[in-house]
């Protein structure tokens, strides 16, 4: 978005005059933020001399005055702009700027995480239906854990939907007589058999709590178990765990 941006999300507006407004780089307050790659502010939008005013007719119905535009950037690229505005002629203080900066920071992190997720999915595009379900399960567990760290609800929902698409069919995932567990799934079940909680497993294996849950869920499904203890018993009966499994971390 180095050349232009489109305003496509609005909160607290009076009209739809700003909806889908295309803002060129360097034009208006948001365009200035895009061009400079840094925060831009005005005390009174309509009398401000440091910006161009080709969008005044779109802004006027909203009666906006004080305004700040903060670019959302990854590396040297501006990906979006966050606007904060009031209908009073006032200066956006440090408290407002700090709060807005925190939102922008979360957005930047979410964009990077989402792009990394899609990169990993693209890298796995050569897998076929005959690919080992273990590899699919591990990728799904990892992506589910990443989804839990994303602040944006819409992006998180999209990623979880992708995780569901990666779930192997039930007849391939659970009914095989020769069940196999990934190394991580076996480690997690070994920890469960030793009486460890999810938080303790997370700390011992240096995994995120959501990742531990995903490994447990995958192992339970593979073993056709309804709970973690049943999964341990079935894994042990199938020879996937030692008769006695001391957890060494």
- Cross-strand partners of 40: 69
**What is residue 123's three-state secondary structure?**
helix
CA atoms within 13 A on the CB side of 204: 19
Tokens, residue 120: 């990993």
Model confidence at 9: pLDDT above 80: yes
Indicate the helix (H) or strand (E) that contains 222: helix 209-222
Q: Which domains does the chain have, with CATH numbers?
A: 4-91 (3.30.450.40), 93-169 (no CATH), 174-249 (1.10.10.10)
**What is residue 225's three-state secondary structure?**
coil
**What is residue 22's three-state secondary structure?**
strand
Say if residues 104 and 143 touch (Cβ distance below 8 Å).
no
- Cross-strand partners of 41: 68
Give the position of tokens 């002629």. 89
**What is residue 83's three-state secondary structure?**
strand
pTM for the predicted model, two decimal places: 0.52
For 6, 30, 45, the CA distances from 21, given in Å and listed in that order, are: 6, 11, 17
Give the tens place of pLDDT for each residue, 139-191.
666 676 676 667 677 777 777 777 666 655 544 444 444 678 888 888 898 88
For 73, 107, 111, 154, the CA distances from 36, given in Å and listed in that order, are: 12, 19, 21, 29
Give the tens place of pLDDT for each residue, 24-33.
999 999 999 9
Give the tens place of pLDDT for each residue, 39-68.
999 989 999 999 999 999 999 999 999 999
Model confidence at 196: pLDDT above 90: no
pLDDT at 193 (0 to 100): 82
């Amino acid at each position: 978005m180095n050349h232009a941006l489109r305003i496509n999300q609005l909160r607290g507006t009076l009209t739809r005059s700003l909806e889908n407004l295309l803002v060129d780089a360097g034009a208006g307050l948001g365009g200035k933020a895009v061009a400079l790659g840094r925060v831009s502010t005005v005390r009174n939008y309509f009398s401000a001399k440091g910006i161009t005013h080709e969008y005044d007719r779109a802004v006027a119905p909203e009666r906006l005055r004080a305004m700040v535009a903060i670019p959302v950037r990854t590396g040297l690229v501006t990906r979006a702009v966050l606007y904060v505005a009031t209908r009073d002629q006032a200066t956006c203080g440090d408290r407002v700027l700090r709060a807005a900066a925190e939102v922008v920071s979360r957005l930047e992190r979410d964009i990077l995480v989402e792009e990394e997720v899609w990169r990993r999915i693209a890298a796995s595009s050569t897998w076929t239906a005959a690919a080992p379900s273990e590899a699919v399960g591990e990728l799904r567990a990892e992506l589910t854990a990443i989804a839990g760290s994303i602040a944006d609800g819409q992006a998180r929902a999209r990623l979880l939907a992708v995780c569901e698409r990666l779930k192997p069919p039930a007849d391939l995932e659970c009914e095989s007589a020769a069940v196999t567990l990934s190394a991580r799934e076996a480690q997690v079940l070994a920890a469960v058999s030793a009486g460890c909680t999810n938080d303790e497993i997370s700390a011992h294996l240096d995994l995120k709590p959501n990742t531990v849950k995903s490994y447990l869920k995958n192992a339970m499904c593979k073993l056709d178990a309804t709970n973690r203890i049943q999964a341990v018993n079935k894994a042990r009966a199938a020879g996937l765990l030692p008769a006695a499994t001391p957890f060494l971390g």
